[in-house]
């Protein structure tokens, strides 16, 4: 055993109060120091925080960024979501594998470089992109990929790959990243100027009940996807019995094609933290947790700095904004480690509690029993920004924007086949067609709205508004140009869900695989009309019988393409006369035996 391991683990566990509830932080820190969390490390951690070894292992084995076996000192994670593929990530992958000398999933023999795929890095507006350890490298070409590897072989320092900084705070000394914000349209809610403390002062001059009343009056709805009324959520949480209450800000942003929270975290963290603080005051809580996805680790030092600054200004900590309010509030950052399902609010809570990111049964809802069984509010980054702005400018001001059922503005993350990918702050209710004109995608053959779990719609729906009552989205809008194949897109989305299902319930764990296989059969030209009914029926089953939002929406790519692009399916299937499965290939099935035995088949010649 590495002699330093024991000392390091003692030290790290101590730093987190030997609290097994902080398992995520512990294992992330151990991995950072030792490259992985191996058997010895897991034993030691279990002993130090007085838990079972299996608990440590179940956490470590769950997250894509954690590993029980050593990986290279440099891990290159190439994003292989659909948008990156459309922008040539397959060629980049081939170039990387050639230059590094190992296939994806493997480490060079000198232990220096590991190649991996990542499902979505939140950089679709500058795809293809990769993370080199924590450092995002964007707009990859095959040339840039080769250059990157050559550089890394010289200096082994991912930071040195950043030769030019992106705009705005991406150039801040604590970020120093090549990422661009690509803010294409600023609205009045999120991307407007703000003075830290202003909204908070206003909130603190009211009673918590008045703050909640104001948020309710604004009719603000959650921006994370489900659109639950925020004021009501805060009210439930305030009303639930418990000694502690928590505010959790959901910055997991794992939905493919979404990256607007990345831009908020880079440019408007004060607004978000202010929203969290206001939420804390409203529900009667003293602690906020920002759950930051592992992919955005490069923003962490900067966010810590903003938090420190707010503490200095008296906007966080003991007696926020002066003693007369008797309100203590502070915020910590909880890092994620590469798991889409952790964006689901109960899985997020599991992860913050230091366990696998398993969703929990609901009810009880987080508002009743959330983090550490205490009433908790989970809100999206953008929702909290809106809440802060509502405090500053008033509910009436907010409610007059957008539509009756969807007031305010919405940030859209636009990517894919369009001239101007990036983030747009638009009023709710805007028709798809108008957005497409704005982003330079008038010829779009289809759009996927709401991310992988959203819907695929075609031109006949382009006059519909983007809103909760119309086409709903947590922010993702992916554009597919005239040459794309919607079924291939649906297939890639299914690939994503198969990968990201937590595996707890059978309809989701198995059903998504079956959906994907059947789609593959159809794409291979072996489908028959009955396969469409099968997809419809199975898709419905997965939707209805799954435990959490992942499984309840994972069949949407199939169900919505079946509904809106049925002709594409119908063009691919044909009636099977002899009722033999065309997907069964007897020649291929006999190949291994023919080789082993050394003769041909006498039946299938």
Partner 1 sequence: MAKPKVATASLAGCFGCHMTVLDIDDRILKLIELVDFDKSPIDDIKHFTGRCAVGLIEGGCCNEENVHTLQDFRKHCDVLISVGDCATMGGIPAMRNGIPLEECYAEAYLVGPSVHNPSGRIPNDPELPLLLDKVYPCQEVVKMDYHIPGCPPSADTIWETLVALLSNKTVDLPYELIKYD
Residue 378 makes contact with ligand FMN by CB under 6 A: yes
What residue 546 binds from partner 1, ligand SF4, ligand FMN, none (CB within 5 to 8 A, per partner kind)? ligand SF4
User: Using CB under 6 A as the criterion, what x/- string covers residues 381-400 for binding ligand FMN?
Assistant: --x-----------------
Instruction: Centre a 10 Å sphere on the Cβ of residue 428 and count the other Cβ atoms it contains.
Output: 21
217 within 8 A of 395, measured Cβ to Cβ: yes
Near partner 1 in 585-604, by CB under 8 A: 586, 588-594, 596-599, 601-604
CA distance 497 to 493: 7
Distance CA 193, CA 604 (A): 74
364 touches 353 (CB < 8 A): no
Which option in ligand FMN, partner 1, ligand SF4, none does residue 593 bind, with CB closer than 5 to 8 A by kind?
A: partner 1
Residues sharing a CB contact under 8 Å with residue 523, sequence separation 6 or more, in sequence order: 487, 488, 491, 572
Tokens, residue 9: 């683990």
Please say which residue, 222 or 527, places its beta carbon nearer to ligand FMN: 222
Among 251, 390, 550, 558, binds ligand SF4 (CB under 6 A): 550
Looking at residues 135 to 154 of the shown chain, list those that interact with ligand SF4 (rule: CB under 6 A): none
Among 489, 522, 547, 560, binds ligand SF4 (CB under 6 A): 547
Q: Which residues from 497-516 bind ligand SF4, rule CB under 6 A?
A: 501-505, 508-509
Contact status: 338 vs ligand FMN (CB under 6 A): no
**Backbone phi, then psi, for 342, in 5-degree steps?**
-65, -10
**Residue 96 CB partners (closer than 8 Å, separation 6+):** 76, 78, 104, 115, 145, 149
Contacts with ligand SF4 by CB under 6 A: the residue count is 14
Task: Name the DSSP letter for residue 246.
Answer: E
| Closer of 109 and 605 to partner 1 (Cβ) | 605
Q: With 0-12 CB in 10 A as exposed, 13-18 as middle and 19+ as buried, what is 8?
A: middle
Cβ atoms < 10 Å from Cβ of 600: 10
The distance of closest approach from Cβ of residue 405 to ligand FMN in the complex, given in angstroms and rounded to an integer, is 15
Tokens of 357: 């990111």
Residue (375 or 458) nearer to ligand FMN, CB:
375
Task: Determine, following the binding rule CB under 6 A, whether residue 343 of this chain makes contact with ligand FMN.
Answer: yes
**How many residues are there in the chain?**
605
Name which of residues 527 to 586 contact partner 1 (CB under 8 A). 576, 578-581, 583-584, 586
**DSSP for residue 221:** B
Q: Verify binding: residue 341, ligand FMN, rule CB under 6 A.
A: yes
**How far is the CA of 338 from the CAs of 122, 131, 232, 255, in angstroms?**
12, 12, 31, 12
Q: Does 546 bind ligand SF4 (CB under 6 A)?
A: yes
Residue 298: φ, ψ to 5°:
-65, -15
* Closest distance to partner 1 from the beta carbon of 604 (Å): 6
- Rounded CA separation 346/556 (Å): 21
Instruction: Closer to ligand FMN by CB, 107 or 554: give it.
Output: 554
| CA 488/CA 496 separation, integer angstroms | 13
Look-up: residue for tokens 């992106």? 166
Q: CB of 97 within 8 A of CB of 107? A: no
Pick one of partner 1, ligand FMN, ligand SF4, none as the site partner of residue 504 (Cβ within 5 to 8 A by kind): ligand SF4
Looking at the Cβ atoms of 161 and 514, the one nearer to partner 1 is 514
Q: Which is nearer to ligand SF4, 383 or 553 (CB)?
A: 553
Which residue, chain included where needed, has tokens 């924590």?
A: 134
Torsion of Cα atoms, 412 then 417 then 421 then 427, to 10°: -30
> Is 268 within 8 Å of 194 (Cβ atoms)?
yes
Q: How far apart are CB 291 and ligand FMN at their closest, in Å?
A: 9
Give least dist CB 446 to ligand SF4, A: 26
Q: Is the CB of 107 or the CB of 553 nearer to ligand FMN?
A: 553
Q: Binding partner of residue 379 among ligand SF4, ligand FMN, partner 1, none, CB under 5 to 8 Å per kind?
A: ligand FMN
Instruction: Give me the residues that bind partner 1 (CB under 8 A), please.
Output: 576, 578-581, 583-584, 586, 588-594, 596-599, 601-604
Instruction: Give me the residues that bind ligand FMN (CB under 6 A), please.
Output: 222-226, 228, 250, 252-255, 340-341, 343-345, 378-380, 383, 548-550
Instruction: Give me the residues that bind ligand SF4 (CB under 6 A), please.
Output: 341, 359, 501-505, 508-509, 546-548, 550-551
């Amino acid at each position: 055993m590495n002699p330093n391991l024991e000392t390091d683990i003692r030290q790290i566990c101590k730093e987190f109060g030997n609290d097994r509830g902080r398992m995520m932080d512990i294992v992330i820190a151990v991995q950072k120091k030792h490259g992985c969390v191996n058997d010895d490390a897991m034993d030691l951690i279990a002993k130090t925080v007085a838990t079972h070894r299996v608990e440590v292992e179940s956490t470590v084995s769950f997250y894509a960024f954690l590993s029980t076996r050593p990986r290279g000192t440099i891990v290159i994670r190439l994003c292989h979501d659909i948008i990156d593929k459309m922008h040539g990530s397959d060629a980049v992958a081939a170039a990387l594998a050639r230059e590094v000398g190992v296939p994806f999933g493997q480490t060079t023999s000198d232990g220096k470089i590991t190649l991996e795929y990542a499902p979505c890095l939140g950089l679709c507006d500058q795809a293809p992109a990769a993370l080199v350890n924590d450092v995002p490298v964007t707009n990859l070409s095959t040339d840039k990929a080769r250059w990157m590897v050559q550089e890394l072989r010289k200096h082994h320092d991912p930071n040195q790959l950043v030769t030019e900084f992106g705009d705005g705070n991406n150039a801040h000394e604590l970020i120093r990243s090549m990422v661009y914000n690509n803010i294409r349209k600023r609205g009045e809610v999120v991307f407007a100027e703000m003075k830290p403390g202003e909204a908070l002062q206003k909130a603190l001059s009211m009673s918590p009940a008045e703050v909640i009343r104001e948020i309710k009056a604004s009719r603000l709805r959650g921006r994370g996807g489900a659109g639950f009324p925020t004021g009501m959520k805060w009210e439930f949480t305030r009303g639930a019995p418990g000694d502690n209450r928590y505010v959790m800000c959901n910055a997991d942003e794992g939905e493919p094609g979404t990256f607007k929270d990345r831009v908020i975290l880079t440019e408007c963290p004060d607004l978000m933290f202010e929203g969290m603080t206001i939420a804390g005051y409203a529900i009667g809580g003293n602690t906020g947790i920002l759950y930051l996805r592992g992919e955005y680790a490069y923003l962490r030092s900067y966010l810590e700095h903003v938090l420190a600054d707010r503490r200095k200004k008296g906007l966080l900590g003991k007696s926020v904004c002066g003693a007369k309010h008797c309100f203590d509030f502070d915020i910590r950052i909880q890092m994620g480690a590469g798991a889409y399902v952790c964006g689901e609010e109960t899985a997020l809570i599991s992860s913050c509690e230091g366990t696998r990111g398993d969703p929990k049964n609901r009810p009880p809802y987080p508002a009743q029993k959330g983090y550490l069984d205490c009433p908790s509010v989970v809100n999206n980054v953008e929702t909290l920004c809106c809440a802060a702005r509502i405090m500053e400018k008033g509910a009436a001001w907010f409610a007059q924007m957008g539509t009756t059922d969807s007031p305010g503005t919405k940030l859209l993350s636009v990517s894919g086949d369009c001239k101007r990918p990036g983030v747009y702050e638009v009023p709710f209710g805007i028709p798809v067609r108008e957005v497409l004109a704005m982003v330079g995608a008038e010829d779009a053959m289809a759009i996927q709205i709401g991310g992988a779990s959203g819907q695929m719609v075609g031109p006949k729906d382009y006059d519909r508004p983007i809103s909760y009552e119309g086409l709903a989205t947590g922010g993702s809008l992916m554009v597919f140009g005239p040459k794309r194949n919607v079924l291939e897109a649906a297939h890639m989305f299914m690939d994503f869900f198969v990968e990201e299902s937590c595996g707890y319930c059978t309809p989701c764990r198995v059903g998504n695989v079956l959906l994907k296989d059947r789609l593959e059969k159809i794409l291979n030209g072996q489908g028959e009309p009955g396969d469409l009914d099968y997809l419809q029926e199975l898709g419905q089953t997965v939707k209805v019988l799954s435990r959490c939002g992942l499984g309840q929406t994972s069949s949407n790519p199939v169900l919505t393409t079946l509904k809106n692009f049925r002709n594409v399916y119908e063009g691919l299937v044909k009636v099977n006369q002899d009722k033999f499965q065309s997907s069964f290939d007897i020649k291929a099935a006999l190949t291994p035996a023919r080789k082993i035995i050394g003769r041909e088949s006498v039946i299938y010649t």
